[in-house]
């Protein structure tokens, strides 16, 4: 069971010219086992939504609520949110020099589970996941995201999704900048996650391409800090054919 | 990492360039008159809290010594020699008052002798322990490494003392030397150390200075070359706590062609009044064509109330060089790094711990002395426990 409920979320950031409101009342419910796609043009506030749910300190919540299975997510610290079952695959994963992927994954797994994973099965699990993500076994000895290609960074995010096994995954443009092979590998990873019981996915994307591989239950068009229209997969097809034009003019 | 101090460093570096004659290449001399008692306003002393030297600069005679335990692999000898013999061996003369006082006041010198072509599987270990900060100890050491020898020397300082030492490393042609000096003193110790290295033709030297303990530690690592083809790697790691002053001064004197120097010092600071100083001087003389030099200092400031001074300084007298550069940055924890780690469930403290270990990791690996590596990781961990991880352990 896992339900992520976002109600009338308002978010601002501090800029040189004072506070700037970016999210202007976002309402969205991801129920048990559902995959929702959020599609929107650049600058519409998609990453802001993702970061706000994950608790990035730069984004200030000025109104609204976010709950995970009824628990107040906004009252939790960043790491508490992750331990409660939220996962954010970042659009721009961050380099952590000197910290190996192996150490990072083990530390994260231990934090999420509240106990260290069994050494023997863990090493096998990690290697299997890296292999499925088409990442070399020596990958685990590299420093987190340091010198990774764009594709490696995204595949590493999905490897974490697989190993950390959250309740709800938010994927922020995981498809951007991937060639077709990497896109398939990443989509397979996400689909394997979706096959598990009751997992929710919020798939943020700029392009319709990834929706050929990951079939959403619901599609939301995101414009100027709010959901402009919601529908089924057919909405993605309309976007593929006509682009965002209709929604942009409506928003002005 | 957010760079917060680059501008300040750039200003200081510009200031220091005006005084090149006075400190980049200070005249070496055994004469005490050539090294007057500093007031603290001198370029080379302005970062150092002179009062906390506890009278070392007065140069009182003292017969106190540090307890010495040694591990000397076969073929290596340690013996007492006279001051005259030290000079005759080619000791590198003092370039500042504490070193000159050490030469004048030490009772002769100690010679660690490693014959030519000795290849050691195990390191030479010299463990020096001070009894109390009331002891004023003068010391003079010569390390002579014969041609084509391959050795690792580990020098450990523990306990407490007011300790002033002048050390010279004479590295023979084609030798490979890895030297590590660990300052693991008790809280009240004062240590003024001058290490000077003469790198033989085609020899390579790695010198690592690691400072954790002591109230005030001020170390020089100077390098010069006896011929072309020599390489020096100067590494350093320091962790300054509340009230500690840790100062590292480097000088790579490229006085021969086709020589190399690579400097990497990394430090962390935590607690009120923690102060670190890193001065990286590089001089490329006219004769030194085709040389390569790079120096880098990075500081990670873990809490408020700390100060990291970092002054790289490159003086180039020839245009014919392979490469020369420097970098200096002082930063706080990077919010994006911490957010990334915490978004994976890792607590804030644990995330900070990972980042600090990561920060030092490449350096600890470069040190390349297995017997020391674990000790360094453990000490970094113990230092973190004092502050960053304190609440978690309480
Ligand atoms: N930290 C910030 N400071 C100022 N403006 C920001 C900040 N973060 C986002 N914005 C602005 O908010 C809007 C939405 O950005 P973002 O959420 O990244 O959009 P998207 O992910 O849809 O491309 C943009 O206009 C962007 O410039
Ligand atoms: Mg975005």
pLDDT tens per residue across span B332-349:
999 999 999 999 999 999
CATH of the domain at A228: 3.40.50.300
Token pair of A228, please?
């402009």
Mean pLDDT on B356-364: 94
| A94, A96, A108: residue with CB nearest B345 | A108
Task: Name every chain B residue with its beta carbon within 8 A of the beta carbon of A58.
Answer: 335
Ligand 1 pocket, Cβ-based, cut-off 6 angstroms = A 13, 15, 20, 22, 40, 42-48, 58
> What per-residue confidence (pLDDT) applies to B255?
95
- Ligand at minimal distance from the CA of A91 is 2
Closest CA to B291 of B197, B222, B224: B224
pLDDT of residue A247: 87
pLDDT for residue B394: 39
Asked if B354 and A103 come within 8 Å (Cβ–Cβ), the reply is: yes
Structural domain of A166: 3-251
Cβ pair B360:A98 closer than 8 A: yes
B28 in Cβ contact with B93 (< 8 Å): yes
Task: Return the pLDDT at B24.
Answer: 62
Our count of domains for chain B comes to: 2
The answer on B185 and B302 residing in a single domain is yes
Cβ contact (<8 Å) for A96 and B340?
Answer: yes
Contact A82 B342 (CB under 8 A): yes
Residue B322 token pair = 């392979």
Q: Is A99 close to B354, i.e. CB distance below 8 A?
A: yes
Minimum CA–CA partner of B347 in chain A: A79
> How far is C-alpha B235 from the geometric centre of its chain's CA atoms?
7
Are the Cβ atoms of B339 and A93 closer than 8 angstroms? no
CB pair distance less than 8 Å for B358 and A143 = yes
Top pLDDT among B125 and B4 is at B125
- Residues A194 and A34: their CA atoms lie apart, in Å, by 8
Report chain A residues whose CB lies below 8 A from the CB of B345: 79, 82-83, 108, 111-112, 164
Q: Is B229 found in the same domain as B147?
A: yes
- Averaged pLDDT, B77-81: 98
Going by C-alpha positions, the residue among A120, A95, A98, A99 that lies closest to residue A108 is A99
Query: How far is B180 from chain A, CA to nearest CA, in Å?
Result: 22
Nearest CA in chain A to B351: A107
Q: What is the spatial distance between Cα B203 and Cα B147, in angstroms, rounded to a whole number? A: 8
pLDDT at B358: 95
Output the CA angle B7-B10-B11, nearest 5 degrees: 90
Q: Which of A96, A164, A171 to mutate to test the interface with B (most CBs of B within 10 A)?
A: A96
- Alpha helix positions (H), chain B: 6-17, 20-23, 83-89, 97-105, 335-342, 348-367, 370-386, 390-393
Residues B94 and B8 in one domain: yes
Question: Nearest-CA neighbor of B250 among B196, B176, B325, B299?
Answer: B196
Could you tell me if A141 lies within 8 Å of chain B, comparing CB atoms? no
Using a CB-CB cut-off of 8 Å, the residues of chain B touching A104 are 341, 344, 354
Q: Does residue B235 share a domain with residue B104?
A: yes
Which domain, by its residues, includes B244? 3-332
Q: What is the mean pLDDT of residues A56-78?
A: 98
DSSP label at residue B119: B
pLDDT of residue B25: 61
Asked if B349 has any chain A CB less than 8 Å from its own CB, the reply is no
Q: Looking at the complex, does the CB of residue A94 fall below 8 Å from at least one CB of chain B?
A: yes
Please state the rounded mean pLDDT for residues B370-394: 80
The answer to whether residues B242 and B391 belong to one domain is no
Nearest CA to ligand 1 atom 2: A13
Cα separations in angstroms, A189 against A129, A153, A154, A157, A162: 9, 14, 11, 10, 7
Q: What is the DSSP letter of B37?
A: P
**B345 lies within 8 A of chain A by CB:** yes
C-alpha distance from A78 to closest chain B C-alpha (Å): 6
Q: Per the CB < 8 Å rule, is A112 touching B342?
A: no
**Which ligand lies nearest the alpha carbon of A92?**
2
Atom of ligand 1 nearest to the CA of A222: 22
Residue A100 scores a pLDDT above 50? yes
Q: Which of A43, A44, A50, A225 to mutate to test the pocket of ligand 1 (most atoms within 8 A of CB)?
A: A43
Q: Which phi and psi angles does B36 have, rounded to 5°?
A: -60, 160
Phi, psi (degrees; rounded to nearest 5) at B133: -70, -15
Rounded CA gap, B68 and B30, in Å? 26
Contact check, Cβ <8 Å, B339/A104: no
Note the pLDDT of residue B175: 98
- Asked whether residue A53 carries a pLDDT value surpassing 50, the answer given is yes
Residues 6+ apart with CB under 8 A from B156: B125, B126, B127, B128, B182, B184
Q: Which of B343, B349, B357, B381 to mutate to test the interface with A (most CBs of A within 10 A)?
A: B343
Which residue of B345, B348, B359 is the best one to mutate when testing the A interface, meaning the one whose CB has the most A CBs within 10 A?
A: B345
Helix (H) or strand (E) holding A148: none
Residue B378: phi and psi, rounded to 5, are: -65, -40
Computed over every residue of chain B, the mean pLDDT equals: 92
Boundary-marking domain end, from B290, B312, B332: B332
Whether A51 and A66 have beta carbons less than 8 Å apart is answered as no
B347 and B289 in a common domain: no
Q: Do B236 and B207 meet the contact criterion of CB atoms below 8 Å apart?
A: no
Average pLDDT over residues B307-327: 93
Distance CA A175, CA A155 (A): 10
- Say yes or no to pLDDT of A136 above 50: yes
- Confidence check: pLDDT of A108 > 70: yes
Smallest CA–CA distance, residue A38 to chain B, in Å, is 21
Q: Where are the alpha helices (DSSP H) in A69-215?
A: 78-84, 101-113, 119-132, 150-164, 180-195
| Predicted model pTM | 0.89
pLDDT over threshold 90, residue A248: no
Distances B286 to A174, B227, B283 between C-alpha atoms, Å: 55, 14, 10
ipTM for the assembly: 0.97
Q: Identify the pLDDT of residue B391.
A: 59
- Between strands B150-171 and B190-199, the pairing is parallel
Q: Are B234 and B361 found together in one domain?
A: no
Residue-wise pLDDT for A206-226, tens only, equals 999 999 999 999 999 999 999
**Number of compact structural domains in chain A:** 1
Q: Are residues B7 and B61 in the same domain?
A: yes
Strand pairing class (B109-114; B77-81): antiparallel
What is the band of B13 on the pLDDT scale with cuts at 50, 70, 90?
very low
Q: Over the stretch A161-204, which tens digit does the pLDDT of each residue have?
A: 999 999 999 999 999 989 999 999 999 999 999 999 999 999 99
Measured N-to-C along each axis, helices A101-113 and A150-164 cross at an angle, to the nearest 10 degrees, of 30
**What pLDDT is recorded for position A249?**
78
Q: Quick check: B154 and B124 in contact, CB under 8 A?
A: yes
For residue B361, give how far its alpha carbon lies from the nearest alpha carbon of chain A (Å): 5
**A90 and chain B: CB distance < 8 Å anywhere?**
yes
| B326 and B393 in a common domain | no
CA angle B238, B240, B242 (to 5 degrees): 175
User: With contacts defined as CB-CB under 8 Å, which chain A residues touch B337?
Assistant: 94-96
pLDDT tens-digit readout, B172-214: 999 999 999 999 999 999 999 999 999 999 999 999 999 999 9
The reply to whether residue A104 touches residue B354, judged by beta carbons under 8 angstroms, is yes
- Taking contacts as CB-CB distances below 8 angstroms, the residues of chain B near A160 are 344
Q: How many angstroms separate the CA of residue A247 from the nearest CA in chain B?
A: 33
């Amino acid at each position: 069971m896992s339900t992520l409920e976002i109600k009338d979320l308002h978010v601002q950031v501090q800029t040189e010219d004072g506070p700037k409101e970016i999210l202007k009342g976002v309402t969205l419910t991801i129920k048990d086992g559902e995959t929702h796609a959020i599609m929107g043009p650049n600058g519409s506030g998609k990453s802001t939504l993702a970061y706000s749910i994950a608790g990035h300190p730069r984004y200030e919540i000025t109104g609204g609520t976010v709950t995970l299975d009824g628990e107040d997510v906004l009252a939790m610290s960043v790491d508490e949110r992750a331990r409660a079952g939220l996962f954010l695959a970042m659009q721009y994963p961050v380099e952590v020099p000197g910290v190996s992927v192996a150490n990072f994954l083990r530390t994260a797994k231990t934090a999420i589970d509240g106990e260290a994973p069994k050494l023997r099965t863990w090493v096998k699990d990690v290697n299997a996941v890296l292999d499925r993500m088409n990442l070399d076994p020596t990958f685990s000895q590299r420093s987190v995201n340091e010198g990774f290609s764009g594709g490696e960074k995204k595949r590493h995010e999905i490897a974490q999704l697989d190993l950390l096994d959250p309740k709800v995954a938010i994927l922020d443009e995981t498809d951007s900048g991937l060639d077709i092979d990497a896109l398939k590998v990443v989509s397979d990873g996400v689909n394997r996650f979706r096959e598990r019981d009751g997992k929710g996915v919020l798939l943020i994307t700029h392009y319709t391409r990834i929706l050929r591989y990951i079939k959403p239950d619901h599609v939301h068009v995101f414009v100027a800090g709010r959901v402009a229209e919601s529908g089924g997969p057919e909405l993605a097809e309309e976007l593929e054919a006509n682009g965002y034009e209709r929604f942009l003019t409506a928003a002005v | 990492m957010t760079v917060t101090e680059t501008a300040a460093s750039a200003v200081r570096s510009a200031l220091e360039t005006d005084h090149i004659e006075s400190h980049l290449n200070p005249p070496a001399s055994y004469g005490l008159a050539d090294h007057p008692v500093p007031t603290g306003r001198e370029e080379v002393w302005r970062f150092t809290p002179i009062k906390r030297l506890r009278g070392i600069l007065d140069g009182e005679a003292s017969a106190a010594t540090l307890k010495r335990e040694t591990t000397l692999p076969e073929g290596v000898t340690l013996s007492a020699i006279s001051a005259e013999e030290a000079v005759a061996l080619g000791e590198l003369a003092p370039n500042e008052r504490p070193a000159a006082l050490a030469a004048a006041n030490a009772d002769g010198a100690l010679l660690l002798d490693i014959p030519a072509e000795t290849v050691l599987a195990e390191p030479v270990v010299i463990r020096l322990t001070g009894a109390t900060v009331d002891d004023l100890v003068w010391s003079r050491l010569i390390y002579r490494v014969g041609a084509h020898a391959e050795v690792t020397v580990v020098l450990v300082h523990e306990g407490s003392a007011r300790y002033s030492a002048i050390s010279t490393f004479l590295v023979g042609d084609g030798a490979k030397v890895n030297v590590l000096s660990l300052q693991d003193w008790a809280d009240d110790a004062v240590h003024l150390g001058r290490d000077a290295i003469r790198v033989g033709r085609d020899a390579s030297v790695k010198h690592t200075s690691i400072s954790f303990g002591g109230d005030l530690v001020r170390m020089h690592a100077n390098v010069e070359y006896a011929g072309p083809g020599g390489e020096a790697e100067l590494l350093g790691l320091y962790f300054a706590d509340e009230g500690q002053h840790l100062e590292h001064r480097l000088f790579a004197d490229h006085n021969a062609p086709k020589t190399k120097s690579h400097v990497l010092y990394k430090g962390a600071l935590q607690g009120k009044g923690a102060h670190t100083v890193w001065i990286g001087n590089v001089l490329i003389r006219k004769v030194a064509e085709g040389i390569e030099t790079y120096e880098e200092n990075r500081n990670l400031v873990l809490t408020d109330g700390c100060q990291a001074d970092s002054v790289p300084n490159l003086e180039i007298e020839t245009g014919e060089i392979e490469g020369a550069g420097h970098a200096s940055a002082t930063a706080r924890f990077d919010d994006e790094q911490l957010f990334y780690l915490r978004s994976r469930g890792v607590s804030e403290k644990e995330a900070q711990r990972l980042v600090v270990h990561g920060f030092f990791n490449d350096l600890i690996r470069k040190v390349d002395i297995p017997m020391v590596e674990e000790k360094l990781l453990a000490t970094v961990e113990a230092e973190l426990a004092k502050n960053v991880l304190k609440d978690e352990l309480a």
